[in-house]
Structure 1
Amino acid sequence: MKRAVIVGATSGLGLEVARLLLERGWSIGVAGRRVEALEQLRAVAPDRVRVRAIDVTQSDAPDRLHALIDDLGGMDLYFHSSGIGRQNPDLDPSIELATVRTNGEGFVRMVTAAYRYFRTQGRGHIAAITSVAGTRGMGAAAAYSATKRFQRTYLDALAQLAHREGLRLRITDIRPGFVRTALLNPEVRYPMMMEPAPVARQIVGAVERRRRVVTIDRRYRALVLLWRLIPQCVWERIKWC
């Protein structure tokens, strides 16, 4: 039976992915800061769900991850869905630094812990939700877009390191567009909004096919291509980002 640990499974895409993996016969370990939200998953299949409280910004998070892996009896897939982001055109330092702590420091803390675990096993799979926002710097969400670019580059580096070390370790970089989750400000009208359930189905399909990079959905694939073609001097004058 395949075993996955999903960090950031209390809501949004992490929760939807956890539900789908459970439906497809996986055993799952789910983690987040709000354990009560995860207990509902355990009630669905108590013999195949393990729960741990993990805050990725805390130094004990890797130890908690390893305890969850032990509870699960091992790990074949590490799925990272923990992240925060807010529009912050005023550049409130508390918001920017909190974003860096979770999406930067917390991301590195957890993904490297998973990598080191899979290194001892000689094989495994790390999948992480980054974002199309990592394509270009977006002025209304500077720390968010910067940390998402950081995550993408970090995953590139891990994929190269795994190849150099001869590990059978697959990396999947998942880059969705705007998804209707608690991460987004409900007062802002986002273009091409997507619903969590169909996005999660595409994510699980990409993970099961062991894709290296996936942008969700096809509209955003076209948009990202367009963004890359826009000259910097023009990009800096775009008001909606």
Structure 2
Amino acid sequence: MKQVVIIGATSGIGRGLAERLAAAGWRVGAVGRRGALLRELAESAPANILYAEADVTYPAECLQALSELVERLGGMDLCVVCSGTGELNPSLDFALEEPAIETNVRGWTAVVDWAYRRFESCGKGCLAVVTSVGGLRGSGAAPAYNASKAYQINYAEGLRQRAAKTASGVRVVDLRPGLVDTAMARGEGLFWVMPVDRVVDQMLRALFRGRRVAVVTRRWRLVAWLLRWLPESLYLKL
């Protein structure tokens, strides 16, 4: 039986991945801030799901909880980092930006480094990070969120370069969703909001097919391509 740790598993994509992998026979370690939701998740598949209540914005405590969870699981073959937050912030209120910076940059980096080092020491393992198509360009409506996702995209690429240069045996996968029907999708008239189940399906397909970078769902690949190549003079008018 393979073991996976999913950080940010209380809802949305993380919870969907936990449920799907547990149903497929994986031993799942679910991590998140909301204990009641974690208990509910574990009770849905008690033979396959363990959990640890932890907050990535408290790195020392979170890393200790992760290490203890891996021991209880009996190892870790895959680590998926889904934790993230962001707010629309047209007024540029720093109080709204700070949680995105603390969660998506500071806390995210701590748990990603922990997982990579653990896999590196074993000479094998897969680290998957859920970034965003939003990380390809800046956003006037949610500046910190898009900027933090750009940070994650570049950090993951840096880890892939490290793995290639050192022949560490660690595989690093960047899973980039577009808009997904979760609490993170805020605003009026949102474009192509995808159901969680479909996003989870395509993420798992990308993982098991050996992809390094995967934009999900398929229609968002076109959006990602356009965002990447659209001249700034046009992008700023959108």
Q: TM-score range by the shorter chain?
A: over 0.9
Q: Is the 8 A contact 2:160 2:172 kept in 1?
A: yes
Distance apart, 1:39 and its partner CA? 1.4
2:142 alignment partner, SS class: helix
Count of paired positions: 237
- How do residues 73-84 of structure 1 correspond to structure 2 at under 5 angstroms? 73-84=74-85
Q: Does 1:92 align with 2:93?
A: yes
Coordinate RMSD, CA, aligned: 1.1
Structure 2 regions of 5+ residues with no counterpart?
none
With structure 2 as the length reference, what TM-score do the two structures score?
Answer: 0.96
- Matched with 1:207 is 207
CA deviation string 1:17-45 (max 9, x = no partner): 10010111100000100121111222233
- Matched with 1:172 is 173
1:52 alignment partner, SS class: strand
Letter of the 1:144 partner, please give it. Y
Q: Does 1:192 align with 2:210?
A: no
Distance apart, 1:46 and its partner CA? 1.8
Distance 1:105 1:93 in 2: 16
After TM superposition, where is structure 1 displaced by more than 3 Å over at least 4 residues in a row?
none
CA deviation string 1:124-154 (max 9, x = no partner): 0000110000111111111010000100000
Distance apart, 1:61 and its partner CA? 1.1
Q: Is the 8 A contact 1:88 1:142 kept in 2?
A: yes
Letter of the 1:208 partner, please give it. F
Structure 1 regions of 5+ residues with no counterpart?
none
Distance apart, 1:210 and its partner CA? 2.5
- How do residues 53-68 of structure 1 correspond to structure 2 at under 5 angstroms? 53-59=53-59, 60-68=61-69
Deviating more after overlay: 214-223 vs 15-24: 214-223
Distance apart, 1:231 and its partner CA? 1.3
Distance apart, 1:218 and its partner CA? 2.1
Q: Report the identity percentage.
A: 39
Q: Does 1:162 align with 2:169?
A: no
Distance apart, 1:12 and its partner CA? 0.4
Greater relative contact order (Cα < 8 A, sep 6+):
1
Q: Is the 8 A contact 2:131 2:149 kept in 1?
A: yes
- Matched with 2:232 is 232
- Matched with 1:3 is 3
1:174 alignment partner, SS class: strand
- Matched with 1:221 is 221
- Matched with 1:16 is 16
